[in-house]
Every structure is written in C-alpha cells, then in structure tokens.
C-alpha cells in the first residue's frame, strides 16, 4: 500500500506522513425502524513511521447517523490502539496547545529537562486559550481555578507541573528521569482531557441520547 496519512508518531513524537501497511474495515448495520438501516464502519490501520520505523495501530470510525462537515479529518476522532499509551487525542486540542504538547513529545526521549519546560509551556497555552493572560503562570492557573475552568485537584496538578517546569528552566540542580517525565505527561493529560476532551465527549453523548429519544417518540407515534 502506498497511501500515507499525516499522524504523530507515538514512539518518536514526529508529526509526518505515515506509511499505511495494512487496513481492515468492519462494517455493521443496525435497523433503527422498519425500512431503515444505519451503517457503522470501524477501520483499523497499521502505520509505520518513516523517521523511527516504529509501528502503531490506529482505529477510526464513521457512521451514517452523524453529519460530517466538508474537509472533516476522520483521524481527528481516531484512537491509538497500539502501542498502549496515556497520550490523548491531539486533534481534540486547540492548535497552539497541541503544538506545545507535540514539542514535548518530540524531546521526551532526548532531553528530560527540555520536555518538562515544554509541558509547562503547554499549561501557558491552556491559560491563554481560556482567557487567563495576565500575571505569572501561578496567577493564571489561580484564575482558571476561580472561574471553574479547572477544579481544585486539577489546579493543584497544574501547579506541580508549573513548579517542576520552573526548576528545569532556572537550571536547578535536579535530575529529571523518565519516570518523572511520564508522571508529568499523565498529569498534563488529565488537565487537557478535563478542559477539552470530556466536554466534546459529553456533547456527543447528549446528541446520541437526543437521537435515541427522538426515535422512540417516532416509534410510539406510529
């Protein structure tokens, strides 16, 4: 197969056209009411990164019950199945936040201190995106917590990332090992999931529930 898809490699963090090695598409149908069937397509694809030659398995989905805008990128709603990682769906993030996060991914296995600094910068981008633009980072995070963008625990996690990022940026005599970096990625993921991904998932679930309710009402009327 010669098809290429631009994705972020889960191994080396590079965003580049990936080589599609194999593809399987599972199609299922479901009868919603007499004479009408909905189609659901689950697509599983194996890609190889041209930079590090790492493999990964990606899942995407589309169905006849959702409206897709022109130019919609199906991979924005996709999910990395292998290798297992706690990294989140980057396509759900605003462009500036995603850019900072991807920069951290690229240096994760190269320079731990630089990675920590870049994760701190990711928080800066979140604050900017959510309207907290004045003061030091801790003041911006306090603002997000006070306005309900971040709950108390997420606010505390943010401050931990900020403090460790400051230590790295100021050249403090601290060793940042891979376990520390992995923990900071997990913390960052929780924040990004709470701020950006969960609201989108809730919106989708509510839409599906509304559709189900409308279908039940239609069936009762007939």
Strands of the 15-33 sheet, one edge to the other: 4-8, 15-33, 36-48, 55-63, 79-82
pLDDT at position 171 = 61
Main-chain phi, psi angles of 213, to 5 degrees? -65, -40
Where residue 77 falls among pLDDT bands split at 50, 70, 90?
A: confident
Q: Is the pLDDT of residue 78 over 90?
A: no
- Please compute, for residue 202, the number of CA atoms within 13 A of its CA located in the half-sphere on the CB side: 7
Mean pLDDT of 148-167: 76
pLDDT at position 218 = 63
| pTM greater than 0.75 | no
pLDDT at position 173 = 60
pLDDT at position 73 = 86
Main-chain phi, psi angles of 219, to 5 degrees? -65, -40
Where residue 167 falls among pLDDT bands split at 50, 70, 90?
A: confident
In eight-state DSSP terms, residue 133 is -
pLDDT at position 126 = 92
pLDDT at position 140 = 85
Q: Is the pLDDT of residue 207 over 70?
A: yes
Query: With b meaning 16 or more CB within 10 Å and e meaning fewer, what string describes 94-116?
Result: eeebbebbbbbbbbbeeebbbbb
Summarised one tens digit per residue, pLDDT across range 124-148 is: 899 999 998 888 888 888 888 888 8
Q: Is the pLDDT of residue 204 over 90?
A: no
Task: Delineate the domains of the chain, giving CATH numbers in brackets.
Answer: 1-85 (no CATH), 93-222 (1.20.120)
Burial of 144 (0-12, 13-18, 19+ CB in 10 A): buried
pLDDT at position 178 = 76
Burial of 181 (0-12, 13-18, 19+ CB in 10 A): buried
Mean pLDDT of 163-170: 72
Q: Is the pLDDT of residue 46 over 90?
A: yes
The CA-based dihedral angle spanning residues 198, 75, 107, 170, taken in that order and rounded to the nearest 10 degrees: -30
Where residue 86 falls among pLDDT bands split at 50, 70, 90?
A: low
Mean pLDDT of 21-25: 95
């Amino acid at each position: 197969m010669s098809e290429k898809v631009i994705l972020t490699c889960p191994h080396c963090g590079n965003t580049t056209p990936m080589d599609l090695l194999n593809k399987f598409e599972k199609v299922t149908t479901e009868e919603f009411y007499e004479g009408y069937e909905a189609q659901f397509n689950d697509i599983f694809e194996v890609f190889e990164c041209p930079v590090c030659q790492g493999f990964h398995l990606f899942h995407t989905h589309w169905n006849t019950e959702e409206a897709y805008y022109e130019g919609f990128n199906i991979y924005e709603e996709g999910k990395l199945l292998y290798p297992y990682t706690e990294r989140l769906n980057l396509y759900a993030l605003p462009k500036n936040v995603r850019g900072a996060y991807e920069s951290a991914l690229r240096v994760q296995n190269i320079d731990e201190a630089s990675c920590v600094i870049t994760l701190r910068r990711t928080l800066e981008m979140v604050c900017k995106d959510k309207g907290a633009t004045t003061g030091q980072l801790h003041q911006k995070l306090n603002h997000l917590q006070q306005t309900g963008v971040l709950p108390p625990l997420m606010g505390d996690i943010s401050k931990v990332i900020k403090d460790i990022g400051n230590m790295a940026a100021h050249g403090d005599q601290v060793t940042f090992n891979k376990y520390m970096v992995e923990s900071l990625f997990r913390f960052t993921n929780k924040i990004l999931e709470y701020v950006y991904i969960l609201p989108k998932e809730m919106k989708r679930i509510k839409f599906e529930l509304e559709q189900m309710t409308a279908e039940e009402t239609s069936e009762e009327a007939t």
